Amino acid sequence: MCSAKNNRITCKQAREIDLVDFLSNIGIEPASVKGHQFWYHSPFRDEQTPSFKVNGAINRWYDFGDGTNGSLIDLGIRLKNCSVREFLQMLESGTFTHCPHRPGETNVDGPAIAVLSNTALSSPELVSYLSSRKITLQVANRYCKEIHYSCNGRNYCAVGFANRSGGFELRSKNFKGTVSPKDYTLLCQGRAELAVFEGFIDFMSYLLIMGKDPQQDYLILNSLAFFQRAMECMMGYSRVQLWTNNDDRSNEVVSMALGHSDIFVDQRNFFFGYNDLNDMLNNKPIVQRIKKS
């Protein structure tokens, strides 16, 4: 039975979490997108042709390989082979992780990612990835680390961004994942204003676009799902700028925040016409014109 006590996440709240967002946060990206239909290689088996679909309009998934379907809860308990209560606890604590299935590998249940080392960024592969996102190594090295980790018996490296609970967001050209526990990141300098971002790539894009320190504290959510968890922190500021994405999910969160308190300010008109700040940064002529204005 699903219930909520002590402000714990409920089954209803879990089912309302965007499936595409959830999959992306655990490193599973669509192979193709057609309208509201997101097609994936199934997370349950090795396959060459995508057979796993998420209908974004109704937030349900379908696995045409075995005929199963359901909500986010059905997906989570199958991925982890756990109970509903255990899955909700993982969602609440931000400890749900999954090592993406790669062709030719057997999906092994157990610790998804184990950190082997944590160093300054130097890998040519990661420097190239950051360059492709227009993030300079100078800025990246101020906030990120080079994380070497193992997953399903193989070793990899990724750009790592630390959260407040000791976990890391991991990004590379072909991987997006998390070293648990997953949580938000607060970069506090004792300022009166706070700037809020969905992810650390957008945060660093913001710094590069502005060209100087805007004299703010910074909150990087690492997932929109943590907005409510960070509310108490945000309410301690006199002004909170919201620099989240220009999409439906973010629209809902921003609308909720604006209705909650007048300290919140929607800043997304700054990059109107772009999905996020990194999308804007990659359009150099537009960014240059803004800097000059």
Per-residue pLDDT tens digits for 233-269: 999 999 999 999 998 888 989 999 999 999 999 999 9
Question: Are residues 202 and 232 part of one domain?
Answer: yes
Residue 57 has pLDDT above 90, yes or no: no
Residue ending a domain, among 93, 125, 153, is 93
6 lies in a domain? no
Residue 58 has pLDDT above 80, yes or no: yes
Query: What's the chain's average pLDDT?
Result: 85
Cα separation, 183 vs 25, in Å, equals: 12
Cα separation, 244 vs 268, in Å, equals: 7
Residue with tokens 């004792």: 190
Question: Are residues 241 and 220 part of one domain?
Answer: yes
Question: Are residues 76 and 151 part of one domain?
Answer: no
Q: Which CATH number does the domain housing residue 55 bear?
A: 3.90.580.10
Cα separation, 65 vs 45, in Å, equals: 9
Question: Are residues 230 and 152 part of one domain?
Answer: no
The answer, yes or no, to whether the previous bond of 30 is cis (omega within 30 of 0) is no
275 lies in a domain? yes
Check residue 83 and report its DSSP letter.
-
98 lies in a domain? no
pLDDT value of position 48: 81
99 lies in a domain? no
Question: Are residues 285 and 190 part of one domain?
Answer: yes
Bridge partners, residue 175, by sequence? 172
pLDDT value of position 281: 94
75 lies in a domain? yes
Question: Are residues 170 and 230 part of one domain?
Answer: no
201 lies in a domain? yes
Question: Are residues 34 and 59 part of one domain?
Answer: yes
DSSP string over 126-183: HHHHHHHTT--HHHHHHH-EEEEEEETTEEEEEEEEE-TTS-EEEEETTEEEEESSP-
Residue ending a domain, among 138, 156, 179, is 179
Across 72-81, average pLDDT: 89
Residue with tokens 């990141």: 185
Across 138-150, average pLDDT: 95
Residue 41 belongs to what domain range?
A: 11-93
Most confident of 42-56, 164-178, 205-219, 253-267: 253-267
Question: Are residues 64 and 32 part of one domain?
Answer: yes
Check residue 143 and report its DSSP letter.
H
Across 115-131, average pLDDT: 95
100 lies in a domain? no
pLDDT value of position 99: 63
- How would you classify residue 166: left for phi > 0, otherwise alpha for psi between -120 and 50, otherwise beta? left
Question: Are residues 282 and 189 part of one domain?
Answer: yes
| Structural domain count of the chain | 3
pLDDT value of position 97: 66
The residue among 7, 10, 182, 183 whose CA lies nearest residue 85 is 10
pLDDT value of position 100: 57
217-220 and 239-242: which strand pairing?
Answer: unpaired
As a dihedral over the C-alpha atoms of residue 59, residue 250, residue 271, residue 56, rounded to 10 degrees, the angle is 0
Cα separation, 153 vs 108, in Å, equals: 9
The residue among 289, 291, 225, 231 whose CA lies nearest residue 263 is 231
pTM above 0.75, yes or no: no
Residue 104 has pLDDT above 60, yes or no: no
Residue ending a domain, among 179, 206, 227, is 179
Question: Are residues 154 and 140 part of one domain?
Answer: yes
Question: Are residues 19 and 55 part of one domain?
Answer: yes
70 lies in a domain? yes
Q: Which CATH number does the domain housing residue 243 bear?
A: 3.40.1360.10
| Sequence-separated (6 or more) residues with CB below 8 Å from residue 51 | 41, 42, 63, 64, 65
Which residue type does 184 have? Y
pLDDT value of position 108: 35
Which residue type does 232 have? E
Tokens representing residue 93 in the block: 């604590």
Question: Are residues 272 and 209 part of one domain?
Answer: yes
Tokens representing residue 209 in the block: 């676009």
- 129 neighbors 140 (Cβ within 8 angstroms): no
